[in-house]
């Protein structure tokens, strides 16, 4: 079960992805914008639709994921790096979710999303940002 970096940017994630593609001579990135997302409960503002909700490149086999900060979320250095755990072990992900939220801050409760049956986002008591997801 690898732990992968997830880098957040302030509206320039696509530029950063292209920079790292060139730097590490990767295959073209997988990129999804907010506008590409399936229908949401809230309407996505037009100015947000071209922003990157998820991008991924592979550097020598290791995935690095990217996103522009969620609209309404303040961008600041320190909140722009997340550790992401993706596993097919649902019990492990749920256990980590329970432990990491103790004295931490829950940003998105464990829930079904269009990309995962179990997804959560939180900050642990040490200030480390985590995304947990099942495959």
Q: What pLDDT digit, counting tens, does each position of 80-112 carry? A: 888 888 888 899 889 999 999 999 999 999 999
Residue 44 shares a structural domain with residue 107: no
Residue 66 shares a structural domain with residue 6: yes
Q: What is the domain-level CATH number for residue 2?
A: 3.10.180.10
pLDDT tier for residue 3 given thresholds of 50, 70 and 90: confident
Residue 63 shares a structural domain with residue 85: no
The answer to whether the CB of 61 falls within 8 A of the CB of 108 is no
Residue 87 shares a structural domain with residue 120: yes
pLDDT score, position 41: 66
Residue 21 shares a structural domain with residue 71: yes
R_g of the chain computed on alpha carbons: 15
Residue 87 shares a structural domain with residue 56: no
pLDDT score, position 17: 94
Task: Write out the residue range of the structural domain in which residue 49 sits.
Answer: 1-75
The conformational region for residue 78 under phi > 0 = left, psi -120 to 50 = alpha, else beta, is: left
Q: What is the domain-level CATH number for residue 106?
A: 3.30.720.110
Number of domains forming the structure of the chain = 2
Q: Is the pTM of this model over 0.85?
A: no
Residue 46 shares a structural domain with residue 94: no
């Amino acid at each position: 079960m690898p732990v992968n970096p997830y880098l957040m940017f302030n509206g320039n994630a696509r530029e950063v992805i292209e920079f790292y593609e060139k730097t590490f001579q990767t295959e073209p990135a997988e990129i999804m914008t907010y506008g590409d997302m399936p229908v949401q409960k809230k309407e996505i503002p037009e100015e947000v639709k071209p922003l990157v909700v998820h991008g991924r490149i592979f550097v020598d086999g290791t995935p690095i994921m990217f996103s522009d900060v969620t609209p309404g979320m303040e961008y600041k250095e320190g909140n722009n790096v997340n550790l992401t755990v993706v596993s097919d072990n649902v019990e492990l992900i749920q256990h980590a979710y329970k432990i990491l939220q103790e004295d931490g801050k829950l940003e998105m409760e464990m829930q079904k999303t269009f990309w995962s049956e179990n997804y959560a986002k939180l900050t642990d008591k040490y200030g480390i940002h985590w995304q947990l997801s099942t495959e």
